Structure 1
Amino acid sequence: MVGLGSPRTGTIDAQSRAPFGWAPLVVLFIVGLVDRIEHNLLSGVLPLIQAEWGFSDTAAGSIPTAAALAAALVALPAGFLADRFSRTRIIAIVVFVWAIATLGSGLATGFAMFYMMRVVLAAAENIDNPASGSLLADYYPPASRAKAYGLTRVTTYLGGVGTLLGGVLAEAFGWRTAFLVMVVPGVLTALLVWMLREPRRGELDRLVASGEPVSAAAGAQQVKEAKPPFWSQFGQVIRIPTLVFVCIGLSFLTLGLAGIFYWMPTLMVRDYGVSVGTAGSLSGLITIVGTLTGTLVGSWLGRKWHGTRKGGRLLAGGSGITAGSLVLAGALSTDSIGTLTVLIMLSSSLMSIAIPNMTACLADVVSASARGLGFAVLQLLITAGGAFGSLVVGIASDQLGSLVGGMYILVIPMVVGGLVTLGARASFERDARKVMDDARS
């Protein structure tokens, strides 16, 4: 598989929807899926870990909060690295570190060691995101970016596979098994990424803007470009209005999703009387089916509305987030596990419409030389937004004696996130046009 991601014809065709083939997308999808499965194992096994070590809901809710804060600390440095060094190598090394941290989680001898391993895992996970986001924009042109980003970002919510896997394995073989089985996929994925061909930064944007073909050999030659100082580049990125709106909108959404879906299996066990395995399976089913459905619909809407409606992708994403948040509020009021499952699945589908559209929009409005940092800013704000969701629900549960009460608190910022996303429509066309103009010069 040497040369994985090289153009089949030897020439980079900017008119093609996949000039480098679909192999890079498949590899980066696998990276995201392994990442989220490892991350979400904890949600599925949490009741058994609490039973073994006896820590409170507040302590349990603080695990993802501490992990998210550690991840936030590395987000901007990760963007700096992604804009200056080989992105495929960065991702491969980071994925290997994930595998080691997951192994440490399964072998933890106490709560403190387990806690530390989850923090290390989260920090490592955040390092690959800017590199992956930047790579996709150099593999795929604007016309197919919604599909590319949709399939990779959908893995954020396909973490339900981890919840399902964790719950089933924990009930059958003990909670440690759930972590240990994920070590091998992590190592194999790292080797796969190492084989990916590194595309030249911005080459595809220049081809799309000029319409001129280029040989694969020429496209593979990396030209050393002078980079502005970090803080100067950071200032340029955060002055892009669309990026700011998209990042804020997604951070509010993530605040709610992180808290609600982290505690969903535990809610099902406590309030609906189902087993740990059943709760993990239902939670996993909700996120898998709901997210896949929403992403497919979102990709279709994004392709249909992009260029035909003002900020069409943002219209689809913002509307989906707002409607999905309101459906989620209704789901939390039901007493039936069946109704809860169906409504939350519908809510997930609606909110997932945003996945392919908002990340594609961000790639369209940030120049190739700064995309790593652009995605780092996105990841920083998403991580910061999600850092406190689980903790808010945990504290509210301890104080009110109700997980549902804490979950309701988080619906409000999710609705706000949808409305903020809709506000980004005003600046998108102008920001995207500037990127193409810069690529021509």
Structure 2
Amino acid sequence: MVGTLGSPRAGAIDMGSSAPFGWAPLVVLFIVGFVDRIEHNLLSGVLPAIQAEWGFSDTAAGSIPTAAALAAAAVALPAGYLADRLSRTRIITVVVFVWAIATLGSGLATGFVMFYLMRVLLAAAENIDNPASGSLLADYYPPVSRAKAYGLTRVTTYLGGVGTLLGGVLAEAFSWRTAFLIMVVPGVLTAVLVWFLREPRRGELDRLVAVGDPPPAPADPAAAPVSTGQAVSAEPAAPSRPVAKPPFWPQLRQVLSIPSLIFVCAGLSLLTLGLVGIFFWLPTFMVRTLGVGTGTAGSLSGLITVVGTVTGTLAGVWLGRKWHGTRKGGRLLAGGGGITAGSLVLAGALSMESIGAMTVLILLSCSLMSIAIPNLTACLADVVPAASRGLGFAVLQLITTGGGAFGSLVVGIASDRFGSLLAGMYILVIPMVAGGLLTLGARASFERDARKVLEAARD
């Protein structure tokens, strides 16, 4: 039956459970993000083979992610508007199906222009589902387990290196078209899976927690929450009074007036500019400079992304928990320090003439920069009022997507102008270091902005 996956047992919501709708919705949304990122990263792995067939310049190749990112940025705020007003499960279903069609079009493209347009369409579709997924998670999982839910879905962004690996291997073993055609199948199956998700009521868990007098949080943060075993009907007889939504532009101005948010968004935008540009070209750089095969280059780049980001994220969770509250802006110190140190290590890695030494140093660099992933996300939640956090994260998504749009293009233009991919990559190290320093600069306003949020919550 359509819409039953993620329904509470016996039609009641157990307010003592950390997953009153079960963990199936989290698994489904994790799959959505994972399939999305794998398909997105295929291009990096197959790029040498596509350029060999069609012979387009590095500037043209670098402009593909630029145009795609600009298309994604253009739909970010409209996507949030739709997610607040339409069925979110249906939005995601349609979007994922569009992915599959665009992926099929990429594999069957008869020329560069058609391929280019398919990649831009795909990027726009991918960005439409993000606000809907984020909104759904808040309605599937209560506050006690939301951090876990958001953390597990966010990590899919950094597991997309599997796509680079898969693309490189399939391009070398068969053809670059095979990589895209194979990904159509998981895209369609994922769309079918999302169709069976139940659309939860907006804000229902928040209302039930507010009126249900939940038990106090345990003294040990690592301890499991106390369960009351209380079951609440999933269909309340009297729906709560709707809350008026504030006008969009005044709310946006309020969000943009938070200094810590601006510093963090600017820092992450510069970091994204460098990461997108360098890692998009990394497999091609390995093929041209170090003479490795397309499959080997794609595999190494993919493994670096997956292992480095997962390792750095886990280290960042531990370090942020240790430094938060014991050092001024402790999480910002961990994140900004990791970005700065990782950028400098990356500069050294690119100069290596040995594939082994380069791989080890880039892996270390990726791990250091990934320390910022959990810490800076948590910092934004600390400084943005609860009523505006959705818009706050939309602003972050818009700025980082826009910042990352030009990374690959910068490297491509520099490569054509100077005859060296390395020159373009070194150009991007500079803004990455600046991004780390900007993030560290947010420590000056963080405590004040976080205090304002707490004081407002008490009123």
When the two structures are superposed, what TM-score results if normalisation uses the length of structure 1? 0.90
| Mapped partners of 2:236, 2:341: distance in 1 | 43
Match of 2:125 in 1: 124
Match of 2:178 in 1: 177
How far residue 156 of structure 1 moved from its aligned partner, in angstroms, is 2.1
Q: Which moved more, 1:253-262 or 1:172-181?
A: 172-181
* Alignment CA distance shift 1:295-1:25 (3 Å): farther
How far residue 413 of structure 1 moved from its aligned partner, in angstroms, is 1.1
Amino acid across the alignment from 1:356: P
SS in 2 for 1:10: strand
Q: Which moved more, 1:143-152 or 1:51-60?
A: 143-152
- Aligned runs of 1:336-351 on 2, under 5 Å? 336-351=354-369
Q: Which moved more, 1:304-313 or 1:281-290?
A: 304-313
- Aligned runs of 1:349-360 on 2, under 5 Å? 349-360=367-378
Amino acid across the alignment from 2:367: S
* Alignment CA distance shift 1:286-1:205 (3 Å): same
CA deviations 1:138-157 (Å, max 9, x no partner) are: 55566655544333222222
| Mapped partners of 2:144, 2:327: distance in 1 | 15
| Mapped partners of 1:117, 1:340: distance in 2 | 33
Retained in 2: the 8 A contact 1:206–1:439?
no
Instruction: Report whether the alignment pairs 1:407 with 2:425.
Output: yes
Retained in 1: the 8 A contact 2:6–2:21?
yes
Q: Which moved more, 1:214-223 or 1:125-134?
A: 214-223
Amino acid across the alignment from 1:354: A
Of 232, 238, 245, the residue aligned with 1:215 is 232
* Alignment CA distance shift 1:75-1:117 (3 Å): same
Q: Which moved more, 1:166-175 or 1:412-421?
A: 412-421
- Aligned runs of 1:153-302 on 2, under 5 Å? 153-201=154-202, 212-213=213-214, 215=232, 217=234, 224-302=242-320
| Mapped partners of 1:83, 1:318: distance in 2 | 33
Of 10, 13, 18, the residue aligned with 1:10 is 13
| Mapped partners of 2:86, 2:321: distance in 1 | 32
| Mapped partners of 1:242, 1:6: distance in 2 | 39
SS in 2 for 1:181: helix
Retained in 1: the 8 A contact 2:335–2:371?
yes
Instruction: Report whether the alignment pairs 1:373 with 2:374.
Output: no
Match of 1:45 in 2: 46
Amino acid across the alignment from 1:225: V
| Mapped partners of 1:375, 1:249: distance in 2 | 15
How far residue 425 of structure 1 moved from its aligned partner, in angstroms, is 3.4
Of 315, 319, 338, the residue aligned with 2:333 is 315
Of 362, 381, 397, the residue aligned with 2:415 is 397
| Mapped partners of 1:423, 1:60: distance in 2 | 35
CA deviations 1:354-398 (Å, max 9, x no partner) are: 222222333444455544432221111111111110000011111
Q: Which moved more, 1:163-172 or 1:181-190?
A: 181-190
Match of 1:108 in 2: 109
SS in 1 for 2:282: helix
CA deviations 1:306-359 (Å, max 9, x no partner) are: 444443333322222111111111101111100000111111111112222222
CA deviations 1:128-167 (Å, max 9, x no partner) are: 2223334444555666555443332222222211111011
| Mapped partners of 2:441, 2:400: distance in 1 | 18
When the two structures are superposed, what TM-score results if normalisation uses the length of structure 2? 0.86
* Alignment CA distance shift 1:251-1:114 (3 Å): same
How far residue 415 of structure 1 moved from its aligned partner, in angstroms, is 1.4
Instruction: Report whether the alignment pairs 1:386 with 2:387.
Output: no
5+ residue gaps in structure 1?
none
How far residue 11 of structure 1 moved from its aligned partner, in angstroms, is 2.7
Match of 1:55 in 2: 56
| Mapped partners of 2:203, 2:51: distance in 1 | 49
Q: Which moved more, 1:240-249 or 1:325-334?
A: 240-249
SS in 2 for 1:283: helix
How far residue 18 of structure 1 moved from its aligned partner, in angstroms, is 5.1
- Provide the aligned length of Structure 1 versus Structure 2: 439
5+ residue gaps in structure 2?
215-230
| Mapped partners of 2:267, 2:122: distance in 1 | 25
| Mapped partners of 1:375, 1:97: distance in 2 | 25
Retained in 2: the 8 A contact 1:133–1:375?
no
SS in 2 for 1:125: helix
Q: Which moved more, 1:214-223 or 1:322-331?
A: 214-223
**% identity of equivalent residues:** 82
- Aligned runs of 1:19-38 on 2, under 5 Å? 20-38=21-39
Instruction: Report whether the alignment pairs 1:329 with 2:344.
Output: no
Retained in 2: the 8 A contact 1:209–1:440?
no
Match of 2:217 in 1: none
Superposition CA RMSD, Å: 2.9
Retained in 2: the 8 A contact 1:133–1:371?
no
Amino acid across the alignment from 2:232: S
| Mapped partners of 2:327, 2:26: distance in 1 | 27
Of 363, 377, 380, the residue aligned with 1:362 is 380
| Mapped partners of 2:296, 2:374: distance in 1 | 30
SS in 1 for 2:27: helix
Amino acid across the alignment from 1:380: L
| Mapped partners of 1:132, 1:364: distance in 2 | 21
Retained in 1: the 8 A contact 2:268–2:435?
yes
